Amino acid sequence: MPVSRERFSIKVYDPGDAQATIDIFLRAIREIASRDYNPAQIAAWAKIDDTQVWGQYRASRPTWLAMDGPTPIGFTDLKADGCLDMMFVDPDYQGRGVASLLLATVEQAARKQGLSRIFTEASLTARPFFERNGFLVVTTQQVQKRGQTFINFLMEKSLR
């Protein structure tokens, strides 16, 4: 049974969704995360080197899309070790519970797999969202991406 809240629903990723996830990823960074990172950082982050490789990554772990009817409006995933790698919501749907719905889906899957915790590397932009949802900051870190240095936060949530 698909999980749903309000009128949004959850759909399991399939290969035909690659471009939709790319569009959401790029817009969420350029229009939302750009509040917290400078233009050079945004340009380095909002880049897809190879769409095929992107699709392979999305298909290599459980990935879910949030849907408004037939329209993809956000996506997330869960790697086997408990890493939530991606959490991006369409700029037109911010603050409407889309990421919360996606996170609930991840947590449900993680519990089913017997994981005791999930963790993520949260952007400055996403940290308040994850804190609001029970994640704690483990450490602040600086990571390199295409020659730019980014501050982000290793955060985790216990599922016990």
Which chain residues interact with ligand COA by CB under 6 A? 28-29, 32-33, 87-89, 94-100, 122-123, 125-126, 128-129, 132
Q: Which is nearer to ligand COA, 59 or 100 (CB)?
A: 100
CB of 90 to ligand COA, least distance (A): 8
CB of 56 to ligand COA, least distance (A): 20
Tell me the torsion sign for CA atoms 24, 12, 101, 81.
negative
* Cα–Cα distance for residue pair 68/140, rounded to 1 Å: 34
Q: Which is nearer to ligand COA, 132 or 145 (CB)?
A: 132
Q: Which is nearer to ligand COA, 12 or 143 (CB)?
A: 143
Which residue type sits at 52? Answer: Q
CB of 146 to ligand COA, least distance (A): 16
**Strands, DSSP E only, in the chain?**
4-5, 8-12, 63-68, 71-77, 87-89, 117-122, 136-145, 148-158
Q: Which is nearer to ligand COA, 114 or 120 (CB)?
A: 120
Residue 147, Cβ density class (10 Å: 0-12 exposed, 13-18 middle, ≥19 buried): exposed
CB of 138 to ligand COA, least distance (A): 14
How far does the chain reach from its first CA to its final CA, in angstroms? 24
